Chains A and B, each alone.
Chain A
């Protein structure tokens, strides 16, 4: 069990900078999720922790020990890959046994540990099969078993669920979280799926273009986004962002008008979450662009002069397309962002 410290980490590939001056302190037993769009540097960061890439600058410490010059095979980390990376010529039993053999774990312990790891991921009956004879979900569980069997200091998971279908993904998510709590192993998890991040993480690190945008608990990141990137990335559907101007305590944009803090002026972006909008009100005027009932909730899309705004309406809400509609905002839940995208006020 261990803490992980990344200090001033830079990783460049030729002239391209993959990760820029990253500082991150991951505490023991924490479940940390690195979240961001593809190419944001999250996988590179994880591979540096694993020792599969070497940082151009900066320090990596695991359990206080400097890791920069330590080879991947000598770091006590276990990694789960997006493509499972099971050894195709070995049975599942041999796959799970591989790290034990490599780390000279006494032979007498092998069988018991393999069976216990397989039990945890419910793979007991499949141990003699080759990876090719398993389904995607079973393969991913085998990869998890291979990671947990040697009781490492750190788990690294690189989009482990992204090759699975939605239903399986949801059940595996719970399984992973449960397993992590049970084993109490510091875990770094990479994903581009914000639902996975919100549900799994103790803390989320949101990255974009190699730079950390915000670090915080899921609640914190949801209710206090630091900038427009975070606001637009988290939430399903994400926060509505409306560009306009602020003057004398009023924010206005084409079709929209809300009160704002008196100290704001100039070009400002208003942020409002779909669930904080109400049909009926006087903050936004527009036309109905689309109505999508899902059973428990109806998604309403309203088009104003230059923008569409997503609203979570009541389950019974219906309206014909192109009819005029007025929308009110919960003014206690407005966010304001400056020209550089950083949060300047609200909520």
Chain B
């Protein structure tokens, strides 16, 4: 018995060592990167790494005084949140129809919707540019909102649809014999029942949208419509050469909201991703 218990303990120890090492591999670069943001400029490019920094808020001061970070953050949040709302408003009824109604070509339409995800975005970059130029929406957050929504709509529809397919048909039949209309079934039965899927889809869409670079660069020709992703790429620190501590800090600020969001809804997200993988 004792030997069994011992080998079980050793097993557990090995597991912990492997998992902790992997966690370190993932987390240490992020922490290192964060410390760069809080070092003085002189401590960054040095022959020997300095492991314990002299803490400094230089980079932070530079950001706040010289750089419209609030504007970029506002643009990012507005464009991303708006696009997610548009996606959900359009995708939920579409997913319901694709999951539940019997009509000719249902599978084809579902596949067509997904297939819009399959082409390289660069292919449509030029047409999109002219489209927005003609409707006078260049250099505007609203344009970004529409583009992000369009990019993610198929994926959001597909994720929510696979969740809806997993909701037992009996629930809907029960609601129907209880006297519910289609809209009531969607609102009172389906949406609450697949809320984890809707949250997952929204977060994935938000991650894709906040990281979107190509179209943002194309549409946002001045800093008026810059989002964090494009502003970050253009940011070098100004006339004083490349200021790495400020860049690190900006990068971290761009990265933090999504990190926090993902930690908060981790449980739903992993379930949603595997479900999408199996069913989609």
Encoded as 1 (CB less than 8 Å from any B CB) or 0, chain A from 125 to 167 comes to 0000000000000000000001000100000100000000000
Does A102 interact with chain B (Cβ within 8 Å)? yes
- The listed residue (B168, B177, B181) touching A78 by CB distance below 8 A is B177
Residue among B168, B177, B193 with the highest chain A CB neighbour number at 10 A:
B177
Q: Which of A71, A74, A87 contacts B171 (CB 8 A)?
A: A87
List residues of chain B with CB within 8 A of the CB of A87. 171, 174-175, 188-189, 192-193
Question: By the criterion of a CB under 8 Å from any partner CB, how many residues of chain A are at the interface?
Answer: 26
A99→B176 CA distance, assembly (Å):
9
In whole Å, how far is B216's beta carbon from the nearest beta carbon of chain A? 38
B184 adjacent to A85 (CB under 8 Å): no
Tell me the complex Cα distance, A77–B192, Å.
25
Which residues on B sit within 8 Å (CB–CB) of A64?
none
Name the residue on A nearest B171 (C-beta).
Answer: A85
Q: Is the CB of B173 within 8 A of A99?
A: no
Residue of A72, A82, A83, A88 near B177 (CB, 8 A) is A72
Which one of A50, A71, A79, A82 has the greatest number of beta carbons of chain B within 10 Å? A79
The reply to whether B179 and A103 form a contact with Cβ atoms under 8 Å apart is yes
Which residues of A are found within 8 Å of B178, using beta-carbon distances? 73, 78, 98-99, 102-103, 146, 150
Q: How far apart sit A80 and B246, CA to CA, in the bound complex (Å)? A: 64
B48, CB-defined interface residue at 8 Å: no
CB distance A79 to B177 under 8 Å?
Answer: yes
- Chain B residues with CB under 8 Å of A82's CB are 170
Partner of A85, one of B173, B179, B180: B173
B143-172: CB near A (< 8 Å → 1, else 0) gives 000000000000000000000000010110
Interface of B, helix, strand, loop or mixed by DSSP: helix
| Residues 21-51 of A contacting B (Cβ, < 8 Å) | 47, 50-51
Could you count the A-B residue pairs with CB atoms below 8 Å apart for me: how many are there? 67
Contact of B176 among A73, A83, A150 (CB under 8 A): A73
CB-CB contacts of A76-117 with B at 8 A, as 1s and 0s? 011101110101110000000011001100000000000000
Closest to B185 in A: A73
Q: Nearest chain B CB to A270's CB is how many angstroms away?
A: 44
Q: Which chain B residues lie closer than 8 Å to A195 at the CB level?
A: none
Interface size class of B (residues with CB under 8 A): 10 to 19
Contact A83 B170 (CB under 8 A): yes
By beta carbon, the residue of chain A nearest B192 is A89
The answer on a CB contact under 8 Å between B193 and A102 is: no
Are B170 and A51 in contact, with the CB atoms below 8 A? Answer: no
Asked if A85 contacts B176 (CB within 8 A), the reply is no
Nearest CB on B from A242, distance (A): 43
> B180 and A73: CB pair below 8 A?
yes
Is A89's CB under 8 angstroms from B193's CB?
Answer: yes
Given contacts A87-B189, A89-B192, contact A98 B173 (CB under 8 A): no
Once A81-B174, A83-B168 are accepted as A-B contacts, the answer to whether A88 and B193 lie under 8 Å apart by CB is yes
Cβ–Cβ < 8 Å partners of B189 in chain A: 87
Q: Choose from A52, A89, A102, A103 the contact partner of B173 (Cβ within 8 Å).
A: A52
A190 to chain B, nearest CB (A): 14
Nearest CB in chain B to that of A74: its residue = B179
Give Cα distance in the complex from A78 to B229, angstroms.
56
A72 in contact with B193 given A81-B170, A83-B168, A102-B184 (CB within 8 Å): no
Q: Which residues of A contact B179 (CB under 8 A)?
A: 73-74, 99, 102-103
- A85-B168, A85-B174, A87-B175 given; name 4 further pairs at CB < 8 Å: A82-B170, A87-B171, A87-B193, A156-B177
16 contacts between A and B (CB under 8 A): A71-B176, A72-B173, A72-B176, A73-B176, A73-B177, A77-B177, A79-B174, A81-B173, A87-B174, A87-B189, A88-B171, A88-B193, A89-B195, A98-B178, A102-B175, A102-B178
